[in-house]
Structure 1
Amino acid sequence: MLSPVQTSVQTANNWPQGSVDKSLMIWNLTPKGRAFRFVGHEDVITGVQFSPFGNLVATSSKDRTVRLWTPSMKGESTVFKAHTATIRSVAFSHDGQRLVTASDDKSVKVWSVHRQCFIYSLNQHTNWVRCARFSPDGRLIASCGDDRSVRLWDTSTKQCINCFTDYGGSATFVDFNASGTCIASSGADSSLKIWDLRTNKLIQHYQVHSAGINSFSFHPSNNYLISASSDSTVKILDLLEGRLIYTLHGHKGAVITVAFSRPGDLFASGGADGQVLLWRTNFDTKSYQDVLQQHSRKVHP
């Protein structure tokens, strides 16, 4: 069942959102809670993520910078500079000590959160890099991009140890499951593929959307996956049975991003229609309802 909620999606009672108006919004979803706007980027915000402990928020932008925000200190941020083109995504390592970014300059970069500096770059992509993520144990990085490849990197040797290229268009998003045994990747060709890293074999292939997939999120149990597409829908996949179980139609335009909460009882979706929809998750029935329609401008493209 998907039903209205009164609590949060990311950490404590807060949930972050980046938008084309160059601002970061952090929503307090408790009763009588407020929304806080953080300004500093000089161009569109393309990615946003809370740190694992909820004390920091990282944002990436078309202004070629990453900013690290302290939510309790309104307006203050640290700027990270090293990329020479739009940064498409930013993500924390699971211990919160590092950031990984993906950029149109064809590179993946790793940063130290504590020292607030650039550490190293991974440079084998031949076109824009759309997304990069750490494995749960921090030993691997997965990245994907417009060269139609998904690359797997060893963080100790800084070498590419595998490359998956079976795409009919750009590879748009990539992430590890909660146990780190698999990665999923999505494409502009509307495909979603899951690879077993123990065998380096493709184990599941879904073609359930009618347009490109922009984002997806594994449920913490590894049993489900939600995907966001330019076809205006959110889809829920049962990975144990290998099938589509729900299609959600709450957005009026492309759905740009989706994310499960850490316990997995909630998820949020953000769309080009300017809506952020917050859902309570229970997969026993097919009902659903949106509860949040706040942001006056589009979510990041």
Structure 2
Amino acid sequence: MSSAPSDPTLERHFKGHRDNVTSVDFSCNMKQIATGSMDSSVMIWNMKPQMRAYRFDGHKDAVTSVQFSPSGHLVASASRDKTVRLWVPSLKAESTAFKAHTATVRSINFSADGQNLVTASDDKTIKVWTVHRQKFLFSLNQHINWVRCAKFSPDDRLIVSSSDDKTIKLWDKNSRECIHSFYEHAGYANHVDFHPSGTCIAAACTDNSVKVWDIRSHKMLQHYQVHSGVVNSLSFHPAGNFLITASSDSTMKILDLVEGKLLYTLHGHQGPVTCVAFSRTGEYFSSGGSDEQVMVWKSNFDCAEGIDDFRLQHKAAPSLQAVGSSTAQPPLTPSEHRSQACDPSEHANGQDSHTKSGSRSQSRATRSQTFGPLSSSSSSTHQTQTPGLPPHSPQVQAQSQASDGGVPPGLANTLEHIIGQLDILTQTVSILEQRLTLTEDKLKECLENQMEIGLHLQRREEA
């Protein structure tokens, strides 16, 4: 078992955005932080005191997502203006714009090798791009509502996406096929991400919950109900033992995935916390909120146990048993977690959150409970698999539905056929939208050329 971590401390906070902060990410060398905002700007903050911040203006509408490339040489941003842009964080220069989406781009994510980008959009598609050739590669088109988030797996073989259609989908990047769909009945997932080991995914949901699934067995491993508001974002600690969440209830929560319990509740933002991210080493994490502030916290975690230890505990820890496991559920045992209250006005840049108090008296102890294995009644949240049948065949769908609610096989087959037709229609509309976008660009180019020719002829006549 992992030893109890020390209290996280607020190290710095930045002010400069003029509207809600929507996204935050650390550079690989921990020298810079990139943030996006509803004020349409991308800002690069330097961790060294007295170093200036850079504001990049290029998007024409709200910036919804930002991320540093693995090398730290580029920053990618997504926007409500339907574009994706690449910036050089060391220079205040013009960015490169990628255009293929026909609606708001909600999220952006680099592959681990930095060669590709994956984006999620309100046009119901997920798109994959090549970074160096700056070219759109292909779309994934099975969601039937806005796609909120899309992320590569650590080995770049898979993509996970979440949508307002209340599904979370796993995709094979090479075959471009949907491998599995997880269904959310109470709400949709605002944010999804892979565990550093690549074996699990976590989702931040609008029903105030955080859920963790095993992508191999497709079973839910953990279900946390610790927030009193919508969960907007989450981030795994690089060691894989901890998960941090950000919520509209103005708090962040740090969860111990090995023990399956809540460790800390962090206060500081005045209003909803919209985004959160660990640094590449896990030594720090940063948060952004509707109060237009960016905060940087020191984790102070004892992470001697890494991902390998997580895998071992994954099988042994009661809190990580799969849904429907035959193992008897142990009684819930109370465990202490500390709630860290921090007032941003009390912290100058670089000042420790406990300096003024002179002690850890700001931490107040409350009681929480360890989250044990979920009951088998929750198994309807994942799709039942039948040996010898493909994951999405009508037979599998019919058996799963019959076991859950007694849906007749004939009706299940009809619904499956309708869903298939809707998928085809969605793909057709997506192709037409792409062609329309290309046509609009060509028309704009022709009009510009025509205007230039007209001006040239006018100058000749005047001469």
Q: Which string of whole-angstrom CA distances, capped at 9 and with x for unpartnered residues, describes residues 17-42 of structure 1?
A: 11121111000111221100111000
| TM alignment of 1:171-250, pairs within 5 A | 171-250=189-268
- Displacement of 1:275 after TM fit? 1.0
- Contact 2:120–2:127 at 8 Å: present in 1 too? yes
Counterpart in the other structure of 1:299: none
- Displacement of 1:200 after TM fit? 1.4
> RMSD across aligned C-alpha pairs, in angstroms?
1.8
Counterpart in the other structure of 1:297: none
Q: Which amino acid aligns with 1:266?
A: Y
* Alpha-carbon distance between aligned partners in 2 of 1:49 and 1:155, rounded to the nearest angstrom: 20
Distance 1:69 1:9, change over 3 A: closer
Larger radius of gyration, structure 1 or 2?
2
- Secondary structure of the 1:138 match is coil
Query: TM-score, normalised on structure 1?
Result: 0.93
- Contact 1:133–1:143 at 8 Å: present in 2 too? yes
Distance 1:292 1:90, change over 3 A: farther
Q: Which string of whole-angstrom CA distances, capped at 9 and with x for unpartnered residues, describes residues 46-73 of structure 1?
A: 0000001100000000000000001122
Counterpart in the other structure of 1:253: 271
- Displacement of 1:76 after TM fit? 2.1
1:11 has 2:28 as partner: yes
- Contact 1:150–1:164 at 8 Å: present in 2 too? yes
- Secondary structure of the 1:152 match is strand
* Aligned with residue 114 of structure 1, among 109, 114, 132: 132
- Secondary structure of the 1:32 match is coil
Q: Which string of whole-angstrom CA distances, capped at 9 and with x for unpartnered residues, describes residues 180-235 of structure 1?
A: 01111121111111111221111111111111111000001110000001111100
* Alpha-carbon distance between aligned partners in 2 of 1:191 and 1:151, rounded to the nearest angstrom: 18
Identity of aligned residues (%): 58
- Displacement of 1:118 after TM fit? 0.4
Q: Which string of whole-angstrom CA distances, capped at 9 and with x for unpartnered residues, describes residues 140-180 of structure 1?
A: 00000100100000001000000000331122110001110
- Contact 2:12–2:348 at 8 Å: present in 1 too? no
* Alpha-carbon distance between aligned partners in 1 of 2:267 and 2:105, rounded to the nearest angstrom: 30
* Alpha-carbon distance between aligned partners in 2 of 1:166 and 1:23, rounded to the nearest angstrom: 33
Name stretches of at least 5 consecutive residues in structure 1 with no aligned partner. Answer: 294-301
* Alpha-carbon distance between aligned partners in 2 of 1:185 and 1:167, rounded to the nearest angstrom: 13
- Displacement of 1:292 after TM fit? 7.0
Q: Which amino acid aligns with 1:268?
A: S
Query: TM-score, normalised on structure 2?
Result: 0.61
* Alpha-carbon distance between aligned partners in 1 of 2:103 and 2:65, rounded to the nearest angstrom: 14
- Displacement of 1:109 after TM fit? 0.4
* Aligned with residue 136 of structure 1, among 154, 160, 165: 154
- Contact 1:18–1:48 at 8 Å: present in 2 too? yes
1 or 2, which has the higher strand percentage? Answer: 1
1 or 2, which has the higher helix percentage? Answer: 2
* Alpha-carbon distance between aligned partners in 1 of 2:222 and 2:165, rounded to the nearest angstrom: 22
Name stretches of at least 5 consecutive residues in structure 2 with no aligned partner. Answer: 1-6, 14-24, 303-336, 350-463
